[in-house]
């Protein structure tokens, strides 16, 4: 039953953002930019009895893995502005993000930061 509640809340959040964009692009972008998925995930983990240390580790790991996603949000509009189609721009943006994930993991290992 709890799984169904989680699915409903998560689906409502995504649907809410996509519906909000019809009314206010800025408000939808702001809501989408908030770490809502991370916050909700932390709440679900706490509700399921996960140790606070485990939730803290999740939070730290999420921080390090958010950084490589940020350039994707600039690559996509840059490609669209140059005439690239939606799917091409999205795929290239995702590819850039995946490469940056790999580099981030390597850099963290070199720096001795375990994620």
User: How confident is the prediction along the chain (115 residues), in pLDDT tens digits per residue?
Assistant: 788 888 888 888 888 888 988 998 888 887 777 788 888 889 999 999 999 999 999 999 888 888 999 999 999 999 999 999 999 999 999 999 999 999 999 999 999 988 7
Measured CA to CA in angstroms, residue 29 lies from 17, 24, 47, 102 at distances of 8, 9, 28, 27
Q: How far apart are CA 39 and CA 48, in angstroms?
A: 14
Determine the angle formed by the axes of helices 86-110 and 72-81, rounding to 10 degrees.
150
**pTM metric for this prediction:** 0.71
Count of Cβ atoms closer than 10 Å to residue 14 Cβ: 12
Exposure of 93 by Cβ count < 10 A (0-12 exposed, 13-18 middle, 19+ buried)?
buried
């Amino acid at each position: 039953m709890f799984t169904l509640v989680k699915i409903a809340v998560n689906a409502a959040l995504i649907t809410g953002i996509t519906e909000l964009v019809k009314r206010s692009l800025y408000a939808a972008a702001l809501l989408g930019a908030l770490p809502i998925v991370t916050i909700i995930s932390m709440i679900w983990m706490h509700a399921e009895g996960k140790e606070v240390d485990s939730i803290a580790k999740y939070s730290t790991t999420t921080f390090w893995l958010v950084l490589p996603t940020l350039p994707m949000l600039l690559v996509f509009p840059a490609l669209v502005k140059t005439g690239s189609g939606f799917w091409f721009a999205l795929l290239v943006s995702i590819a850039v993000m995946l490469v940056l994930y790999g580099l981030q993991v390597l850099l963290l290992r070199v720096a001795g930061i375990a994620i």
